[in-house]
Amino acid sequence: MINISIRHNFPQVIQALKELPEKAGGKAMVRAMNTTITQAKPAMAQQISKEFNVTSAQVKERLTVRRAIAKPGEYRFEAELKAANKAKGRGANLIAFQDGVLTKRTAKRAGRAQSIGQLGFQIKRAGGRKVVTGAFIGNDGRTVFIRVGKKRMPIKAVSTIDITQMFNTRRINEVVVATILKRFEANFNRELRSVLKGYIK
């Protein structure tokens, strides 16, 4: 979850608000926060898809924006960007990253010459394929499983990092927060000019 913290990061904006009519300052603040948090969504999707083997479109489907609103008599604004869980407490099944069966050539390239015939998985864009020994696909091609023990049953689904966890990766978060900090003040100044036009007779 990413929140815009105006008080700590933008003291000059806070000072400007003190010198403005409350209604004008609040309107400019809300507009600027909503513009900035909306810009942060594609920035986050781009950063995640740059590191992990998912598309920006897949990431955007899971990102939600809670917009700031202005309430009469209140001078507190919050805007929020977060990744929603598909299923609480569960990661993504490995099927999302399935990348074919390792052949003699691809197994050698992955440094896994002993894994010929095993399923390969490409979770991160950088680096080689990952292999889960004994993994197989079931559930009409929707799920990767492994057997628990040496018998045919029971089996269990194999999960890995989900978009929610990718979102919370510190290095990705830091890049997106930097984008927010870079863009907010310019957005605020632009929205403030727009709002103040209504106060000029």
pLDDT in tens, 71-104: 665 556 788 999 987 655 567 899 989 888 877 7
**129 in the same domain as 74:** no
**139 in the same domain as 119:** yes
Report the domain count for the chain.
2
- Any bridge partners for residue 125, and if so which? none
**96 in the same domain as 84:** no
Structure-block tokens of residue 9: 């990061």
Q: Kindly provide the b/e burial profile for residues 78-106, where b requires at least 16 CB atoms within 10 angstroms of the residue's own CB.
A: ebebbbeeeeeeebbbbbbbbeeebeeeb
**149 in the same domain as 80:** no
**73 in the same domain as 156:** no
Higher confidence at residue 142 or residue 19? 142
pLDDT at 167: 94
**Helix and strand counts by DSSP (H, E) for the chain:** 7, 11
This prediction has a pTM of 0.79
**76 in the same domain as 12:** yes
pLDDT at 51: 95
pLDDT per residue over 123-132, tens digit each? 999 877 788 8
Question: Which residue range is the domain that position 36 belongs to?
Answer: 2-88+163-199
